[in-house]
Amino acid sequence: MRPDSLAELGEFGLIDRIRSRFPAPSGVTGIGDDCAVIPQRSGNDTLVSTDMLVEGTHFLREDITPYDLGWKSAAVNLSDIAAMGGRPTATFLSLALPANLDPGWIEAFMNGYADISGRFDTALLGGDTTASPDRICINVAVLGECPSGKARLRSSAMSNDLICVTGPLGDSAAGLKAILQGVERDADVQRLIERHYRPVPRVPEGLELASNLYVHAMMDISDGISSDLEHILEASDLSAEIDVDAIPLSAVLKRVCKRYGWDPLALAAGGGEDYELLFTCSRQAEMVLTTPHFVIGRILSARPGPGRRITWRGGTPSAAGFDHFKKR
Amino acid sequence: MRPDSLAELGEFGLIDRIRSRFPAPSGVTGIGDDCAVIPQRSGNDTLVSTDMLVEGTHFLREDITPYDLGWKSAAVNLSDIAAMGGRPTATFLSLALPANLDPGWIEAFMNGYADISGRFDTALLGGDTTASPDRICINVAVLGECPSGKARLRSSAMSNDLICVTGPLGDSAAGLKAILQGVERDADVQRLIERHYRPVPRVPEGLELASNLYVHAMMDISDGISSDLEHILEASDLSAEIDVDAIPLSAVLKRVCKRYGWDPLALAAGGGEDYELLFTCSRQAEMVLTTPHFVIGRILSARPGPGRRITWRGGTPSAAGFDHFKKR
């Protein structure tokens, strides 16, 4: 007999299901005690991040499949570890769920969560399941590790560094725009929507980049490059110039934007959730980097003007485009 | 000028406030990057737990002060570290807050959170602040450490162990009952309510107990001793007998129960959220333990009957009492 609702399955039934789906690696105590117990490897630093997703703020239940929501919940956290140049080791999932939720929804959610976690050998080692009066609320905490002192911070950009990204930008924002405008979902549009719902955290890229001493500051692009780069510049107390023509755009994005009259550069510069890595490195390092990347600008020491840290060169994205995305 | 609402303060304003209230210890990167970076001490295990509190399920905004809610959010997580015999090192706080929330509410919440965290030298090293359409949702993830292999698990009880608790039980459940029934808040009732809203995690007690090799299984009492002991017995595949008369009751609890005709043993055995430690140890260890504690029973290898693991000796708590608390 398959239970019809979460209330019928019960909290312990749910935990048992999750536990059997996510066995703990050997030597590690995972789900089922007061805490997870993880042996430490000496010479490493522990990396920790956490993210909360609330129904009605971050997603609408009718718009996103539970599989995609599970995937994205894990992916955005794994991306934070990638952004430090670390290796994710474990996640902890808290779920507040309405009692009438179909257990099939949870199963699909856990499948998405497992698929992206498994791709990077990251175990689910604990969490909390609880009732919610109405909205689904999800919190993921992620642990990772990196060699002592080697985490790539936002504050370590250096003057004259090149500014690079690991992949094309704007696809995710265009996918969201397509969902919100309800445009026809042909193969191109579907691809953009997938980039929005199933981001792939750049874990191997982050590890590879962090193995190079001349890769300095790093972060993941979650709010859009103009806003995210600002964080690096503030933390490092530097400024930057960006060559707008050098911002990488996918062929799919260009085609869809042309069809609907959207501005691809506004999407690429102002739109978020690409989860590509944004990093700075010295010129000599850039020439020998094997990680695929695109140089989009330079770190400068002089400020372009009071309160401003970024100079856009070669056709700034339209003000309307930027304003649109800041308001969203 | 003091902002009137969270919307006016803004996410970055809120993060700045929290950051200035919780400076990171030296050598640690706390709030403000993609991840916190925590140096590892070799020879230790990392302990991790997480807990979610949802408005309407776990608390009502009009019933609990923001100070108490902040205190309790941190305390229940610190208690999970205590339950393993570990030392808490850092917490990560996710807050989903409605935009019209008074910033004074958040300040009081953070004060409660800081006061109990500071008592155990536990830093707030990161988190997430986000908008909620209506209900407040809180998630805390906590990190701790203990010497490698020394965490006290639920599965390590041994036959013939004594079963002990670190303090009187039932106060918290009586405090909740007083709140729900709206009884007059004299000094005694106020004391019980405080035990409900401001539990003090047994961190030093847990550390001291875990330093004794003959202290075997340990956990904190969050659901009530009958339900929590069941977890130890299941994980250890053993059974137990409990001397009901030996369950420690505070004088305050006895007085209030007498006045209102409540059953103190039902509250002590079936009520939860005492956050005392429940542990098992060998007889010789018990005699030399300096941590204050009460022996309430013994671990046995024989089952009292099919499906049952606990035998209550000397006046079982009334079925009505137990049923009442299971349903709540």
Q: How far is CA A173 from CA A79, A257, A264, in A?
A: 17, 11, 10
Shortest Cα distance, chain B CAs vs residue A154, angstroms: 6
Test B54 with A137 for CB contact under 8 angstroms: yes
Judge contact between B286 and B225, C-beta under 8 A.
no
For residue B148, the chain A residues in CB contact (below 8 A) are 39-40
pLDDT at A31: 75
Range of weakest confidence among A276-280, A321-325, B245-249, B303-307: A321-325
- What was the pLDDT predicted at B318? 54
More confident site: B88 or B15: B88
Q: Average pLDDT, stretch B311-324?
A: 59
Domains detected in chain A? 6-147 (3.30.1330.10), 154-314 (3.90.650.10)
Closest CB from B29, B45, B135 relative to A37: B45
Specify the DSSP element, H or E, that contains A18: helix A6-21
Question: How high is the pLDDT of residue A195?
Answer: 95
Question: How close B56 comes to chain A (CA, Å)?
Answer: 6
* E strand or H helix that includes residue B18: helix B11-21
d(CA B233, CA B240): 7
**DSSP state, A26?**
T
Smallest Cβ–Cβ distance between A141 and the set B29, B34, B141 belongs to B141
Question: B135 contacts in A (CB within 8 Å)?
Answer: 133-135
Tokens of B160: 């013939």
Tell me whether residues A48 and B32 touch, CB distance under 8 A.
no
Nearest CB among B42, B45, B52 relative to A94 is that of: B52
| B98 and B132 Cβ atoms separated by less than 8 Å | yes
For residues B247-252, give the mean pLDDT.
96
Which pLDDT belongs to residue B28?
75
Instruction: Output the CA–CA distances (angstroms, integers) from residue A106 to A20, A66, B243, in the order listed.
Output: 14, 7, 42
Low-confidence ranges of chain A (pLDDT < 70): 1-2, 12, 316-328
Instruction: Look at residue B328 in the predicted model and tell me its pLDDT.
Output: 30
- Do residue A92 and residue B48 have CB atoms under 8 angstroms apart? yes
Among A44, A46, A61, most B C-beta atoms within 10 A, so best to mutate, is A46
What's the pTM value of the predicted model, to 2 decimals? 0.91
What are the pLDDT digits (tens) for B107-133?
999 999 999 999 999 999 988 989 999
pLDDT for residue A318:
54
* A205 and A82 Cβ atoms separated by less than 8 Å: yes
ipTM, two decimals: 0.90
How many angstroms from the chain centroid is the CA of residue A280?
18
Give contacts of A43 with chain B, Cβ < 8 Å: 40, 42
- B79 → chain A, closest CA residue: A34
Strands B137-147 and B215-220 turn out to be: unpaired
Chains A, B: CB pairs < 8 Å: 209
Q: B29, A151: Cβ pair inside 8 Å?
A: yes
What's the pLDDT band for B319 if we cut at 50, 70, 90?
A: very low
Residue A259: which residues within 8 A CB-CB, separation 6 or more? none
pLDDT at B327: 31
Contacts of B286 (CB under 8 A, 6+ apart): B162, B164, B293, B295
CB B207 within 8 A of CB B263: no
Phi, psi dihedrals of residue A314, rounded to the nearest 5°: 85, 50
Residue of chain B with shortest Cα separation from A139: B139
Chain A residues with CB-CB distance to B51 below 8 A? 94, 128
Q: Do A48 and B126 touch (CB under 8 A)?
A: yes
Pairing of strands B239-243, B294-300: antiparallel
- Phi and psi of B27, rounded to 5°? 85, 0
Q: Which member of A83, A130, A131 has the closest CB to residue B34?
A: A83
Cβ contact A82:B127 at 8 Å: no
For A92, A120, B217, the CA distances from A74, given in Å and listed in that order, are 10, 11, 32
* DSSP 8-state code for residue A289: -
